[in-house]
Amino acid sequence: AQRVTQPEKLLSVFKGAPVELKCNYSYSGSPELFWYVQYSRQRLQLLLRHISRESIKGFTADLNKGETSFHLKKPFAQEEDSAMYYCALRTGANNLFFGTGTRLTVIP
Amino acid sequence: EADIYQTPRYLVIGTGKKITLECSQTMGHDKMYWYQQDPGMELHLIHYSYGVNSTEKGDLSSESTVSRIRTEHFPLTLESARPSHTSQYLCASSEPGDRDYGYTFGSGTRLTVV
């Protein structure tokens, strides 16, 4: 069965510090991983997807199949990065499975 | 503006009442989904649809039902609301060949059954 684990419910970092939000998954097939973000009083929205290998708002995430991880990283956190972040796994059935989320707070 | 809309945003209702949560999208997406989320917990898929007259149950068992009579409309119904149904319900949609674009989510309906 598929599963997405985000071990940290809360994460606080100072502005300008590096940030890493952890995500591990379990899935027997070929995974597709995503990061979604929800800013205060806004909708859940797509941040980035692993297949595009892009950087969005300074965030990057690399799929590590050996470690079954898809950690989200940013070298210098900004106050506007404070939000709820969800890692999601898409299976062959084309449905998304979400982790429990990590609330990131960037301290000024 | 092409978007996905959920109504109501908040609903407080008594036990035993029948309720329908509305979800409509104007993007022409074939695929639509309902997720349920309790505070601090994962989003759980409860229903999905790949097109008109197509509905399937998701991974989390739910007493709710859905219908898909029109492409743009995917309402969720609870015949008899109970306090255990108190949760946030999120609707989403995606298009065929969406492997690069993910889902578009609505603003959600926060349901409280008293």
CB A48 within 8 A of CB A63: no
Q: Minimal Cα distance from B102: which residue of A? A: A46
Q: Is the pLDDT of residue A74 over 70?
A: yes
| Mean pLDDT computed over every residue of chain A | 91
Q: Do B102 and A49 touch (CB under 8 A)?
A: yes
- pLDDT score at B100: 55
- pLDDT score at A53: 75
Give which of B90, B112, B93, B5 is closest to A38, Cα–Cα. B90
Distance, CA of A108 to CA of B44 (rounded, Å)? 34
Give me the tens of pLDDT residue by residue for chain B, a chain 114 residues long: 779 999 999 999 999 999 999 999 999 898 999 999 988 788 899 999 999 999 999 888 888 999 999 999 999 999 999 999 999 999 999 876 655 567 899 999 999 999
Give which of A31, A47, A32 is closest to A81, Cα–Cα. A47
The tens digit of pLDDT for each residue in A28-44 reads 888 889 999 999 989 99
CA distance B65 to chain A (A): 18
